[in-house]
């Protein structure tokens, strides 16, 4: 039997298309080859970004346990090395520019936060706005992001992946959450 050496990144791509505890690497490669051979126009190049993504309805968020944020943008600006909590922090910095009253600020951004520096019990100090924010689970952070983006009329796009772990809602699958400017007046739209 021949041995094939592949890059780590290629193996990770294969894992995104495997059913955990069911598919072997050989099965995933065969499924990919079947898809290539069954295309109507074999001369059409396959794009790397052709991976299927779930479109997430912001009004009905799935379980986001074991997710990793792959890409994000806020008001059209790409976020460098995003994660759920860093996105919340960015939104909070934006929100402080719109509110003078801390209680109003807290209503639009439903996160545990206190004025001033607090760095215990999972809090992180954001010196730029003199507020400390408690870290959250992916589920809580995403729910807060949706509420804050809608309250502040921010455009938000998050692409994420469920890790291939037990307890993940959709192991190995990618998803996209989009809140557009047009959705703020009538509720969030499905991306």
pLDDT, tens only, 96-116: 888 888 888 888 888 999 999
Q: What is the pTM of this model?
A: 0.67
Confidence of residue 122 (pLDDT cuts 50, 70, 90): very high
Task: Name residue 178's beta-bridge partners.
Answer: 157
Residues 38 and 79 in one domain: no
What DSSP letter does each residue of 108-165 carry, written as one string? HS-S-EEES---STTEEEETTTTEEEE---HHHHHHHHHHHHHHHT--EEEEEEE-SS
Residues 131 and 110 in one domain: yes
Asked, for residue 76, whether it belongs to a domain, the answer is: yes
Residues 85 and 30 in one domain: no
For 38, the domain range is 8-49
Q: How many domains does the chain have?
A: 2
Show the tokens assigned to 54: 């779930």
- Residue 36: what pLDDT? 67
Residues 38 and 83 in one domain: no
Residues 42 and 60 in one domain: no
- Residue 39: what pLDDT? 53
Asked, for residue 191, whether it belongs to a domain, the answer is: no
Average pLDDT, the chain: 83
Can you state the angle between helices 84-96 and 138-152, rounded to 10 degrees?
A: 30
């Amino acid at each position: 039997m021949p041995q094939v050496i592949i890059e780590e990144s290629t193996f990770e791509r294969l894992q995104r298309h495997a059913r955990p505890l069911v598919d072997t690497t050989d099965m995933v490669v065969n499924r990919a080859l079947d898809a290539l051979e069954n295309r109507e126009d074999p001369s059409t190049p396959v794009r790397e970004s052709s991976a299927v993504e779930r479109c997430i309805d912001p009004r009905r968020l799935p379980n986001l346990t074991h997710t990793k944020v792959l890409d994000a943008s806020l008001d059209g600006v790409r976020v460098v090395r995003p994660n759920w909590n860093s996105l919340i922090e960015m939104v909070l910095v934006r929100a402080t520019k719109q509110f003078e009253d801390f209680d109003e600020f807290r209503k639009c951004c439903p996160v545990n936060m206190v004025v001033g520096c607090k760095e215990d019990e999972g809090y992180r100090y954001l010196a730029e706005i003199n507020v400390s924010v408690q870290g959250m689970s992916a589920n809580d952070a995403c729910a807060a992001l949706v509420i804050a983006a809608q309250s502040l009329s921010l455009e938000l796009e998050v692409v994420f992946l469920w890790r291939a772990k037990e307890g993940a809602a959709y192991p190995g699958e990618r998803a996209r959450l989009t809140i557009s400017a047009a959705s703020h007046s009538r509720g969030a739209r499905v991306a």
